[in-house]
């Protein structure tokens, strides 16, 4: 087991499968800037390792998958210009040239949902909850989600999810195609690893060729679409998100879906 960023990110290799874990359970696996940029580096090291074929992304036990950005850091104004899909080592700038599978237990919300959506497939346990919870306190989604989510669930459903910020439970996620596998609580990582080994066992050239064709046939190249997403989100990032995050961290405004 490798530890990166003082243990915020863990990397384990299981034959041709790399398991990457966000290890901040004390803050529900929310990511500060260092964690996101470390994920970027870990993802790219995986991509360049010819012995590794499939990646699995998960959150440390007890913290859910990922609660999104570290709101204490946002409220302090430390990283408000930093985008998780941006060019400054944004972890979700582009897909890898090899598949990644999300193993989702508990909450995958706000930018945490973006991490799940960045993956090729999502294995969700019955405890999984998705949602754009940052809607509650003025946070935009400059992390690839407004580009990738409509391509997964369709524009209308994506707009519902993006604009309302409502929670999407595991059953609904499975029904609308946001999740690809539904497993009992506590089994997401095991099932994701089994799926990863299945993919790793196929002849790679044909599978990767089909994967590439399916993911590059949209109107805008993904990076260009993400640049448009980031540019459009900047007024909100510079404006209400910092104060909204401060209200959340100081007084809990926005917790449990209640906000003014």
What's the rounded mean pLDDT across residues 39-55? Answer: 98
Token pair, residue 191, equals 């099932």
What's the rounded mean pLDDT across residues 52-58? Answer: 98
Q: Which of 15, 60, 1, 7 shows the shortest CA–CA distance to 193?
A: 15
d(CA 82, CA 186) in angstroms, rounded, equals: 33
> Which of the four pLDDT bands, split at 50, 70 and 90, describes residue 248?
confident
d(CA 17, CA 13) in angstroms, rounded, equals: 6
What's the rounded mean pLDDT across residues 45-64? Answer: 97
Give the angle 243-233-59 at the CA atoms, nearest 5°.
75
Res 255 pLDDT > 60: no
Q: What is the pLDDT of residue 259?
A: 45
Average pLDDT, the chain: 92
Q: What is the pLDDT of residue 174?
A: 98
Q: Where are the beta strands (DSSP E) in 78-196?
A: 100-104, 107-109, 121-125, 129-131, 168-169, 181-183
CATH of domain 2-184+207-257: 3.90.226.10
Q: Picking from 139-143, 178-182, 184-188, which range would have the lowest pLDDT averaged per residue?
A: 139-143
> pTM score > 0.75 for this model?
yes
Token pair, residue 166, equals 């409502």
> Which of the four pLDDT bands, split at 50, 70 and 90, describes residue 253?
low
Torsion of CA 67, 73, 76, 77, to 10 degrees: -100
Q: Which of 221, 67, 216, 229 shows the shortest CA–CA distance to 141?
A: 229
Residues 195-214: tens digit of each pLDDT: 999 999 998 988 998 898 88
What's the rounded mean pLDDT across residues 155-160? Answer: 98
Q: Where are the beta strands (DSSP E) in 110-238?
A: 121-125, 129-131, 168-169, 181-183
Residue 259, helix vs strand vs coil: coil
Q: Report the percent of the chain where pLDDT is more than 90.
A: 73
Q: What is the pLDDT of residue 134?
A: 93
How is the chain split into domains, by residue range?
2-184+207-257
Residue 59 burial (C-beta neighbours within 10 Å; 0-12, 13-18, 19+):
buried
Residue with the two structure tokens 């029904």: 175
């Amino acid at each position: 087991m490798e530890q990166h960023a003082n243990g915020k990110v863990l990397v384990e290799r299981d034959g041709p499968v790399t398991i990457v874990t966000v290890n901040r359970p004390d803050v529900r696996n929310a990511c500060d800037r260092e964690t996101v940029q470390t994920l970027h580096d870990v993802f790219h090291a995986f991509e360049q390792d010819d012995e590794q074929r499939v990646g699995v992304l998960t959150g440390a036990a007890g913290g859910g998958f990922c609660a999104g950005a570290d709101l204490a850091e946002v409220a302090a104004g430390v990283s408000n210009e930093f985008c998780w899909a941006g060019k400054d080592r944004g972890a979700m700038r582009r897909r890898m040239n090899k598949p990644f599978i999300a193993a989702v237990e508990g909450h995958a919300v706000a930018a945490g949902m973006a991490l799940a959506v960045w993956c090729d497939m999502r294995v969700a346990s019955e405890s999984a909850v998705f949602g754009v919870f940052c809607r509650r306190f003025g946070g935009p989604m400059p992390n690839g989600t407004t580009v990738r989510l409509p391509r997964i669930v369709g524009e209308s459903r994506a707009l519902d999810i993006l604009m309302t910020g409502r929670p999407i439970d595991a059953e609904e996620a499975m029904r609308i195609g946001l999740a690809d596998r539904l497993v009992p609580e506590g089994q997401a990582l095991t099932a994701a690893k089994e799926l990863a080994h299945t993919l790793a066992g196929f002849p790679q050239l044909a599978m990767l060729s089909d994967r590439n064709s399916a993911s590059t046939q949209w109107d805008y190249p993904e990076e260009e679409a993400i640049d448009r997403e980031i540019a459009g989100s900047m007024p909100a990032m510079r404006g209400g998100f910092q104060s909204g995050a401060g209200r959340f961290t100081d007084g809990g405004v926005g917790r449990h879906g209640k906000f003014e």
